[in-house]
Amino acid sequence: MLEVRNLTKRFGGLLAVNNVSFHLKTGEVVGLLGPNGSGKSTVMNLISGALMRSAGEVRVDGQRIDGEPAHRIARRGVARTFQLVRLAPSLSLRENVLLSVAFGPEPLWGADAVRRADAALDRVGLGGMGDRRVPDLNYIDQKRLELARAIATRPRLLLLDEWMAGLNPTELKTAIDLIASVRDGGTTILLVEHIMEAVRALCPRCIVMQAGVRIADGPTAEVLADPQVIDAYLGGAAHV
């Protein structure tokens, strides 16, 4: 479904992503792990079109999307959330979701669009709050709203960049169930996440990056037991 081949991104002299390749099957939920600065978010940004690749290819359902502007990639059914929540603060919650409904893969407008937006708000636990404004929301609800905007279009591929960071245990449980329900709706999901509980619950498979290079790719339990991964990723966190 998603094919990333020899993806490379250079920022001046820095190789942020170095020749990374992987492949996601339809309906799969895959965790993209690695220490801070390993290039995970850059990979997400390259797939969504927020950044332009230096070399390599990205394909969605066989069609090349690398080199396309972000809005066209979004219209192909690739939705995302951002590491630091990004919303349109001058718009109401409903209008924030309407954005992707009105301009996404199957654009809708009018009563149908409002219904779709309200349903998405409902789904993330913001039901009945459509007329509220973004500045009225706490951090968790802002994250919920961002997810509502991403899933309202029923995307084929969903990119979640540390969407579960900062949740308390109860909220985390709800969040995991929510992501699972999106997966059950047929959406393929690639998620960058530091919360291992969520990774174990959601991702049967993980890809691990270090210093821009893919160092492991396989079943989560095996990958997490890989000495190279422990050294790179968990080793870095061991003294916390």
Partner 1 sequence: MKNALIPVGLCLLLLALAALPLVAGAYLQGVLVGVMSAVVLASAWALFSGPTKYISLATVAFFGLGAYTVAVLADHVPFGLILIVAGAVGLAVALVVGLATLRLAGVYFVIFSFGLAELVRQLITWAETTLNKTLGRYIFIDIDARGIYWLLLALAVATLALRWWIERSRLGLAVHAIGDDETVARHAGINVTAVKLALFAISAVIITLAGAIQAPRWTYVEPSIVFNPTISFITLIMALLGGATRLWGPVFGAVPLFFFFEWLSVKVPDQFSVILGLAFILIVFLVPNGVLDLAQSALRRLGLPARGKEAPHA
Q: Which residues of this chain interact with partner 1, rule CB under 8 A?
A: 48-50, 69-71, 74-75, 79-80, 82, 86-92, 94-95, 98-100, 102-105, 107, 109-111, 113-114, 131, 149, 153
- Return the number of the residue (40 or 80) whose C-beta is nearest partner 1: 80
Least distance from C-beta 230 to partner 1, angstroms? 35
- Return the number of the residue (114 or 201) whose C-beta is nearest partner 1: 114
Least distance from C-beta 47 to partner 1, angstroms? 11
Least distance from C-beta 213 to partner 1, angstroms? 27
Least distance from C-beta 166 to partner 1, angstroms? 20
The rounded distance, in Å, linking the Cα atoms of 129 and 148 is: 12
- Return the number of the residue (31 or 77) whose C-beta is nearest partner 1: 77
The rounded distance, in Å, linking the Cα atoms of 240 and 231 is: 14
Backbone phi and psi for residue 137, each to the nearest 5 degrees, phi listed first: -90, 145
- Return the number of the residue (90 or 181) whose C-beta is nearest partner 1: 90
| DSSP strands (E only) in the chain | 2-11, 14-24, 29-33, 55-60, 63-64, 78-80, 157-161, 188-192, 205-210, 213-219
Tokens for 193, please give them.
């996440």
